[in-house]
Amino acid sequence: MAQKPSIPKGTRDFGPEEMAKRNYIFNTIKDVYALYGFQQIETPAMETLQTLMGKYGEEGDKLLFKILNSGDYLSKISDEELHERNSLHLAASLCEKGLRYDLTVPFARYVVMHRDELQLPFKRYQIQSVWRADRPQKGRYREFYQCDADIVGSDSLLNEIELMQIVDTVFTQFGIKVQIKINNRKILAGIAEIIGEPDKIVDITVAIDKLDKIGLDHVNAELKANGISDEAIEKLQPIISLEGSNGAKLNVIAGVLQGSETGLKGIEEIKFILDTLQSTGLNNEIQLDLTLARGLNYYTGAIFEVKALDTSIGSITGGGRYDNLTGIFGMPGLSGVGISFGADRIYDVLNTLNLYPKEATNATQVLFINFGEKETTYCLPFVSQLRKAGIRTELFPDKAKMKKQMGYANAKHIPFVVLAGENEMNEGKLTLKDMQTGEQTLVTIEELTTTVLK
């Protein structure tokens, strides 16, 4: 007996109903991006490892899926190298490409390669899958979609404000209540400076970014394991435990960071963003969270993260300002800021809260029953007419038993069924059955069209 096929852990198949829901997510986000003037691009699924490595920190590099070189990839490897079993060294020799980890680094590469074709500031959006060699768990997959929007070529904080408005608009349309968390990497750099560990900024941000997941005691243990002094850890405690309104937090942290020019610059930026957003009237709460760090190394200014309030699924959107990313590819001085919607987690939230609108998952609207060749010939012009009116219509392909055809309509949640037999053909009409109420009405094609479109 043949072995039953399977798919890799952390990946999923999506059936028709699931795809209808996913397309609702993608189309909603696309429409909002377009509303704000963003243009769509796509980049290859794989990039050179030279493009990807070193952009996500040490932990991120470990999660890159690497692709074996084609052909006889062992021909240039010596027996000694194979005997050593040094996986990192072998991977560097055997793999020149990897699957993209996110959409931001490929976008930075795209900007540098196409710099002469772009009108700056360049506002792009990109909706494609990414891959991470992570441990699969609820809400975390090895293959998943991101829905990114970035603005490059402008230092203005109005870009950050616009991205927060996009986040608010998207989740308002989805009906998901969220909390938008915001911080600034300059504030975090200032904190590292004030507690006497300016060279440990990466270790500090990676550790405190895990506060929600592992708790304060484990964060402190990780900080100590990374060589941060007990005195510095003690100074950090009141800062990462700070509570109160956004204004109160800003006042306290401004006092703490008086000796840090970088930290005060971060406070100035956050205050401008929060004050301006207050005047725009967001539907969702925006909260200053001094523990928010966003573990990726390329962020340099404002950082954002979004969490759904009515379910325990983690971050569903994130992003921030990056001033140096394109400099890695030989184009210094080009600032950018972006956000990424986690489509797969949004999918799970909408499922959990049952927030999909009915029309998002209803595909076919009308099914014509097949009574035979003569009846089919009569119905085909009406099928075409309904489709021209924008009504999603099917004609059952086989002359099957009525029970089977009605079962097909019920299984696909088709709201209307059309029957046309001898009587209908003699009158030039159709019988329309409402599958929800069971009511049947003899109608003209014009009346049928009006009823369905309502």
319-329 pLDDT per residue, tens: 999 887 788 88
326, 111 Cβ separation under 8 angstroms: yes
Q: Span 232-243, mean pLDDT?
A: 77
Name the β-bridge partners of 140.
137
Q: Is 114 exposed, middle or buried (0-12, 13-18, 19+ CB in 10 A)?
A: exposed
How far, in Å, CA of 220 to CA of 233, rounded? 7
16-43+101-353 and 362-453 share one CATH topology? Answer: no
Q: Span 15-31, mean pLDDT?
A: 94
Q: Span 5-17, mean pLDDT?
A: 91
pLDDT value for 231: 79
pTM comes to: 0.83
- The domain spans of the chain are 16-43+101-353, 362-453
Preceding peptide of 5 cis, ω within 30°: no
Nearest CA-CA partner of 417 in 365, 380, 374, 354: 365
Q: Is 273 helix (H, G, I), strand (E, B) or coil?
A: helix
| 109-165 residue pLDDT tens | 999 999 999 999 999 999 999 999 988 887 678 999 999 999 999 999 999 999 999
pLDDT value for 296: 61
CATH of region 16-43+101-353: 3.30.930.10
How far, in Å, CA of 231 to CA of 28, rounded? 49
Nearest CA-CA partner of 94 in 75, 116, 113, 114: 75
| 370-380 residue pLDDT tens | 999 999 999 99
Distances (CA, A) of 277 to 122, 170, 286: 23, 16, 9
pLDDT value for 230: 80
**pLDDT category of residue 213 using cuts at 50, 70 and 90:** confident
pLDDT value for 372: 95
Which residues define the annotated binding site? 102-104, 132, 146, 150, 294, 298-299
pLDDT value for 156: 96
Residue bearing the bigger pLDDT, 231 or 379: 379
Which residues define the annotated binding site for L-histidine? 102-104, 132, 146, 150, 294, 298-299
| 314-366 residue pLDDT tens | 889 999 998 877 888 888 888 899 999 989 889 989 999 999 987 777 789 99
| 417-449 residue pLDDT tens | 999 999 999 999 999 999 999 999 999 999 999
Residue 387 tokens, joined: 């489709």
Read off the amino acid at residue 419.
Answer: L
pLDDT value for 255: 86
Residue bearing the bigger pLDDT, 249 or 57: 249
**pLDDT category of residue 369 using cuts at 50, 70 and 90:** very high
pLDDT value for 84: 67
Residue 74 tokens, joined: 């062992």
pLDDT value for 86: 61
| 66-96 residue pLDDT tens | 988 776 667 677 666 666 666 666 666 678 8
pLDDT value for 160: 97
Distances (CA, A) of 310 to 227, 260, 352, 383: 38, 38, 9, 43
Q: Span 27-45, mean pLDDT?
A: 97
* pLDDT at residue 235 tops 80: no
206, 292 Cβ separation under 8 angstroms: no
CATH of region 362-453: 3.40.50.800
